[in-house]
């Protein structure tokens, strides 16, 4: 593309804003549109666990999941929930999703994910370097916390995937766990420590700060709702919004879990669902954590953030429209109390959001047909981590017509 052309990026979450910055740094005119302000609390980029996870190469679907999931659903202490009336709507997606729960597909997915997450810490730093957004980034270890060695060894398959991606943990056991992290409750006796990870001290404020960087470098942001895409001879000429038409030469669809209708209109039917997730922030916490943690027994992450300690996790299927459920939040509270019995705090903030979940756990990155609209959505559990890399890949696709990285795992056509 020529640098005198205009590109509209739809969606101001981490994926959209990162893409907009890299496109603009390539020299073209970029307009970002979103129905909310960048970093707003209905976007998934606001409420995530904040962890930048280069070792995030293991999808939720793994071998054995099909036989285990009915028991998980019925177990009140397992963080998998289903709003049963939603099941008929979920079923077609669920069948496709579970068809990947085997060793061969899991290894294939893992290789794809490693492209997006492998250099994530550097990607975030290079996006934010020398700007006010940099202050929200922190270096840290990321520790998988286990009750005992048997539980750790039961996860050998996923650590094998991580090892294949060059991510090898340092294992700490027994009293050494409390020497590493004095705040950790006694129910944890083993930590698998992944080095050179990172986190964001306030994901919402980070996205807002990156949006300001984009504006300060010449970009324009408009708060509008996108309703449609105008095509001429099958190629985009503009977007239709609730406040009128915006002409453009190309567009990026970075609307997270809300991407399905516009992608479908452009001829690509992506099996995309909401994996609802929750967080609780414990304000003015009595403890100071050294690192970020994945509490493997409860499958939630713990991150020391600006506003307090954020505990985030749970997978709930129930669609985009239903309000937050009580059950997941109660379970999260119970589990936090179990792992960190000494935690005191002045108050809490609760949140529910939507992970954009494709049926094969890989994001969709690439042009939708030959429409001039490029997809950048479907990042599941790793969108904060992979947003900046995705943005760079899309900028290369648009400005250079290709990438020297194999993007076939993310091909929008793969579902057709």
Ligand X SMILES: Cc1cc2nc3c(=O)[nH]c(=O)nc-3n(C[C@H](O)[C@H](O)[C@H](O)COP(=O)(O)OP(=O)(O)OC[C@H]3O[C@@H](n4cnc5c(N)ncnc54)[C@H](O)[C@@H]3O)c2cc1C
Out of 1, 7, 9, 14, name the contact with ligand X by CB under 6 A.
14
- Our finding on whether 379 is near ligand X (CB under 6 A) is yes
Report how far apart, in Å, the C-alpha atoms of 131 and of each of 9, 252, 387, 389 are.
Answer: 21, 24, 17, 18
Measured from the CB atom, the residue of 162 and 379 that comes closer to ligand X is: 379
Torsion of CA 135, 137, 141, 143, to 10 degrees: 120
- Length of the chain in residues, anyone? 416
Q: Specify whether the CB–CB gap between 64 and 32 falls below 8 A.
A: no
Out of 23, 30, 32, 43, name the contact with ligand X by CB under 6 A.
43
Q: Which stretch binds ligand X (CB under 6 A): 100-108, 170-178, 230-238, 275-283?
A: 275-283
Measured from the CB atom, the residue of 275 and 367 that comes closer to ligand X is: 275
- Our finding on whether 397 is near ligand X (CB under 6 A) is no
In the complex, minimum distance from the CB of residue 20 to ligand X, in angstroms, rounded to a whole number: 11
- Our finding on whether 124 is near ligand X (CB under 6 A) is no
Other C-beta atoms closer than 10 Å to the C-beta of 92 total 12
CA–CA separation, 118 vs 162, rounded Å?
10
- Our finding on whether 116 is near ligand X (CB under 6 A) is no
- Our finding on whether 335 is near ligand X (CB under 6 A) is no
Measured from the CB atom, the residue of 14 and 21 that comes closer to ligand X is: 14
Which DSSP string corresponds to 246-261? EE-SEEEE--GGG-HH
- Our finding on whether 279 is near ligand X (CB under 6 A) is yes
Pairing, β 347-358 against β 308-317: unpaired
Q: Which of 139, 137, 140, 142 is nearest to 200 (CA)?
A: 137
Out of 198, 256, 372, 412, name the contact with ligand X by CB under 6 A.
256
Out of 385, 391, 393, 410, name the contact with ligand X by CB under 6 A.
385
In the complex, minimum distance from the CB of residue 272 to ligand X, in angstroms, rounded to a whole number: 11
- Our finding on whether 389 is near ligand X (CB under 6 A) is no
Measured from the CB atom, the residue of 117 and 184 that comes closer to ligand X is: 117
Measured from the CB atom, the residue of 15 and 188 that comes closer to ligand X is: 15
Q: Which stretch binds ligand X (CB under 6 A): 43-51, 135-143, 265-273, 281-289?
A: 43-51
- Our finding on whether 59 is near ligand X (CB under 6 A) is no
Residues in binding contact with ligand X, number by CB under 6 A: 41
Measured from the CB atom, the residue of 101 and 116 that comes closer to ligand X is: 116
Sign of CA dihedral 340, 345, 351, 357: negative
- Our finding on whether 112 is near ligand X (CB under 6 A) is no
Measured from the CB atom, the residue of 35 and 392 that comes closer to ligand X is: 35
Sign of CA dihedral 197, 202, 205, 208: positive
Out of 35, 124, 205, 392, name the contact with ligand X by CB under 6 A.
35
Out of 75, 148, 153, 225, name the contact with ligand X by CB under 6 A.
225
> Nearest residue by C-beta to ligand X?
383
Q: Which stretch binds ligand X (CB under 6 A): 35-43, 73-81, 107-115, 151-159?
A: 35-43
- Our finding on whether 316 is near ligand X (CB under 6 A) is no
Report how far apart, in Å, the C-alpha atoms of 20 and of each of 37, 161, 164 are.
Answer: 15, 32, 32
Out of 12, 210, 272, 281, name the contact with ligand X by CB under 6 A.
12
CA–CA separation, 222 vs 203, rounded Å?
21
Q: Residue 364: CB partners within 8 Å, gap ≥ 6?
A: 259, 263, 268, 270, 358, 375, 376, 377, 378, 410, 412
Report how far apart, in Å, the C-alpha atoms of 15 and of each of 20, 198, 224, 317 are.
Answer: 9, 18, 18, 23
- Our finding on whether 254 is near ligand X (CB under 6 A) is yes
Q: Which of 57, 63, 59, 35 is nearest to 262 (CA)?
A: 35
* Phi, psi angles (nearest 5°) of residue 280: -130, 130
In the complex, minimum distance from the CB of residue 229 to ligand X, in angstroms, rounded to a whole number: 11
* Phi, psi angles (nearest 5°) of residue 29: -85, 130
Which residues of this chain interact with ligand X, rule CB under 6 A? 10-16, 33-36, 43-45, 48-51, 53, 225-226, 254-256, 258, 277-279, 301, 312, 353, 355-356, 377, 379-385
């Amino acid at each position: 593309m020529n640098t005198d052309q205009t590109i509209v990026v739809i969606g101001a979450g981490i994926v959209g804003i990162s893409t907009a910055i890299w496109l603009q740094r390539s020299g073209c005119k970029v307009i970002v549109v979103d129905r909310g302000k960048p970093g707003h609390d209905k976007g998934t980029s606001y409420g995530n666990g904040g962890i930048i996870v280069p070792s995030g190469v293991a999808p939720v679907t793994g071998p054995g999941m099909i036989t285990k999931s009915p028991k998980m659903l019925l177990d009140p202490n397992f963080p998998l929930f289903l709003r049963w009336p939603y099941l008929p709507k979920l079923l077609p997606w669920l069948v496709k999703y579970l068809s990947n729960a085997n060793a061969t597909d899991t290894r294939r997915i893992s290789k794809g994910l490693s492209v997006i997450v492998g250099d994530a810490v550097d990607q975030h730093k290079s996006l934010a370097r020398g700007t006010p957004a940099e202050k929200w980034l922190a270096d840290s270890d990321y520790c998988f916390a286990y009750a005992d060695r048997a539980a750790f060894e039961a996860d050998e398959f996923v650590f094998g995937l991580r090892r294949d991606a060059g991510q090898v943990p340092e294992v700490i056991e027994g009293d050494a766990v409390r020497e590493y992290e004095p705040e950790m409750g006694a129910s944890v006796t083993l930590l698998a420590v992944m080095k050179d990870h990172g986190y964001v001290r306030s994901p919402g404020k980070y996205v807002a700060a990156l949006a300001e960087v984009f504006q300060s470098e010449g970009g324009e942001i408009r708060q509008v709702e996108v309703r449609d895409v105008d095509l001429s001879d099958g190629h985009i000429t503009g977007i239709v919004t609730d406040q009128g038409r915006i002409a453009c030469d190309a567009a990026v669809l970075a609307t997270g879990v809300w991407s399905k209708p516009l992608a479908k209109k452009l001829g690509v039917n992506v099996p995309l669902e909401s994996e609802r997730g929750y967080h609780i922030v414990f304000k003015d916490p009595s403890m100071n954590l050294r690192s970020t943690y994945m509490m493997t027994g409860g499958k939630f992450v713990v991150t020391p953030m600006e506003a307090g300690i954020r505990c985030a996790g749970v997978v709930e299927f129930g669609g985009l429209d239903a309000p937050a459920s009580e059950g997941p939040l109660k379970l999260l509270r119970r589990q936090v109390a179990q792992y960190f019995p000494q935690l005191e705090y002045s108050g809490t903030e609760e949140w529910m959001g939507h992970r954009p979940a494709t049926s094969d756990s890989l994001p969709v990155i690439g042009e939708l047909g030959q429409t001039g609209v490029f997809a950048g959505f479907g990042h599941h559990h790793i969108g904060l981590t992979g947003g900046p890399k995705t943005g760079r890949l899309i900028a290369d696709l648009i400005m250079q017509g290709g990438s020297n990285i194999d993007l076939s795992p993310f091909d929008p056509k793969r579902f057709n």
